[in-house]
Structure 1
Amino acid sequence: MAALACAALASGCAAPGAPAPAPGREPGRAGPAQALDPQARRAAEHARLVAAAQHWRLDRVPLTPPAPPAGKPEITPRDGFEVDGQEEENLPPVFTTVPTRKKVVFLTIDDGAEKDPAFLRMMSDLKIPYTAFLSNYLVKDDYGYFRRMQSEGHTLNNHTLTHPYLPGLSYEEQKDEICGMQTVMKKQFGKAPTVFRPPYGNYNGDTLRAAKVCGIKYAPIWDEEVFVDHWEYRDWDRSLHPGDIVLTHFRGRDDWDGTMVDDMRRFLNKVTREGYAVARLEDYL
């Protein structure tokens, strides 16, 4: 594999994240270089991914997701996850899996406590999409970390101001938590999202009514959760399914016996081994 990486990259084997040669120039030459044809570009990119997977100590190169669907699937609440008035009031659906036959899963990361620069480098090197659900009390000390994440194409969504147990609050208190975070998101990241995850996955009818008033259209939770040392499953078969939403958290050694990089290695090794690619959740909403 290393030989493939060296052969396909004109500049030789470089460490992941090393700066690329300036466009239009061959390394060590002053004149313009001939543009690579599409097949050569694909080979070079594959070689780069091989090197990145080796650098981050993955078992194999993560699979490339298929193109986003031309027609978005209809998102409905998971059976048993509806609230009174769900359909009549057109409340945001709570769901754990996106309807698709494609072997894709969606990576979602909650709260924002750990701000590990190595995690950003890893996901950028490997081109793995993910969605972050942010709580202001944990991200306000370093909005710039999440702006960098956003600049690399990852979506930032609402996870309330202070991460409370929402069903224990009044409607107005829930509305303040959700709409307040919408205001923060718009100010700090330029956009109020339409996707919201209730803390702990707990909600009631007032949660979804408040979310709707705040501009929320979807309330995904998760079907599996990955930790640095194990997986947990919602369903009895303890398996991944096409379209499953996977949860993890911004955590590090203060909370886990490992880092976010270790957590992502466990996640990526399993989904790749089982034939799944990681797709961007918002492409299906």
Structure 2
Amino acid sequence: MNIFFTSRRAAGVITVLVLMLTFLLGMLAGDVRERIISVTTKRLVPIYKVDTPEKKIAITIDGVWGAEKTSRILDIFDKYNVKITFFFGGYWLEKYPDMVREIDKRGHEIGNHTYTHPHCNSLAPEQLRQELEKTSLLIQDLTGKWPRFFRPPFGEYNNTVIRVAEEENYQVIQWSIDSLDWKEPGVHFIVKRVLEKAGPGEIVLMHNNGKHTADALEIIVPRLIEMGYKIVPLSELVYKDNYYIESHSGIQKRILSPRERK
């Protein structure tokens, strides 16, 4: 009888231990699943900055309203033999076709900024494709060139926006230095902000019709050159092939060949 009761007691203990172990394993499995999901769910990001050993920096200018100050900006770039990348909305392209041709004639790049400047996260994939195609067709019609780069309005994006743009063969561009010229903070503020944050591979955001943008560029451009920077369009900064983008920083990095890794 004693043996019987001891065995039954032992069986009860074993059962409890098994249940506890099962519970713990279940929790562990859940944690592991969460970790796997975290690792395998890829967050897609645009290019914020380029990892480059060269002292190159890109000034990019968005245009969605007005053109009164654009000629002066172009003259500043001509004065210092600087080429940059502009991003225009489709309706801006339609409103100022002669200015678009002039920008292209002076050797600057024009990127896609959608047609209606919408919040892209709210668009269905096909709607975004239509926005991109309509704008690129306008750029091609005015300049004879199909744009390589796309900048989402408001800097707004999600995985769908990035994926659709890449499927349409665009490289998606954000920025690493927001000049905040759109807030009209004054020339000194814009100049100080850009120059203090300047570094190799940085991408600067400005706007063609900002109140203080041209005055700020009159100071920023020669100062960057004095600091040893080469101001380049995105096509001379952004890697076209053999690269990856860090999901936590948006920094574009080259994939080194075996020889370069030695």
The runs of at least 4 consecutive aligned structure 1 residues that moved more than 3 Å come to 83-86, 231-234, 272-275
Q: Deviations along 1:37-95, whole A, 9 cap, x unmatched?
A: xxxxxxxxxxxxxxxxxxxxxxxxxxxxxxxxxxxxxxxxxxxxxx9556xxxx8x611
Say yes or no: does 1:99 pair with 2:51: yes
Equivalences, count: 189
Instruction: Check the 8 A contact 1:95/1:221 in 2, yes or no.
Output: yes
Which residue does 1:177 correspond to in 2? 131
Which residue does 2:218 correspond to in 1? 265
TM-score normalised per structure 2: 0.64
Structure 2, unaligned runs of 5 or more = 1-39, 240-262
Distance 2:174 2:161 in 1: 14
Task: Kindly state the Cα deviation for residue 212 of structure 1 after the two structures are TM-superposed.
Answer: 2.4
CA RMSD of aligned residues (A): 2.6
TM-score normalised per structure 1: 0.59
Say yes or no: does 1:241 pair with 2:199: yes
Distance verdict in 2 for CA 1:112–1:148, change over 3 Å: farther
Q: Deviations along 1:130-169, whole A, 9 cap, x unmatched?
A: 1001101223111111111111111111010011111122
Task: Kindly state the Cα deviation for residue 232 of structure 1 after the two structures are TM-superposed.
Answer: 9.5
Residue type of the partner of 2:51?
A: P
Instruction: Check the 8 A contact 1:106/1:130 in 2, yes or no.
Output: yes
Which residue does 1:123 correspond to in 2? 77
Q: Secondary structure at the match of 1:208?
A: helix
**% same residue:** 25
Q: Which has the higher contact order (CA 8 A, sep 6+)?
A: 2
Task: Kindly state the Cα deviation for residue 248 of structure 1 after the two structures are TM-superposed.
Answer: 0.3
Q: Deviations along 1:204-252, whole A, 9 cap, x unmatched?
A: 1111222123331x11211112225324999xxx622211011101114
Larger Rg: 2
Task: Kindly state the Cα deviation for residue 197 of structure 1 after the two structures are TM-superposed.
Answer: 0.8
Distance 1:215 1:119 in 2: 30
Distance 1:185 1:205 in 2: 26
Residue type of the partner of 2:230?
A: A
Distance verdict in 2 for CA 1:269–1:123, change over 3 Å: closer
Q: Secondary structure at the match of 1:140?
A: helix
Distance 1:204 1:198 in 2: 10
Task: Kindly state the Cα deviation for residue 270 of structure 1 after the two structures are TM-superposed.
Answer: 4.5
Task: Kindly state the Cα deviation for residue 272 of structure 1 after the two structures are TM-superposed.
Answer: 3.7
Task: Kindly state the Cα deviation for residue 108 of structure 1 after the two structures are TM-superposed.
Answer: 0.5
Structure 1, unaligned runs of 5 or more = 1-82
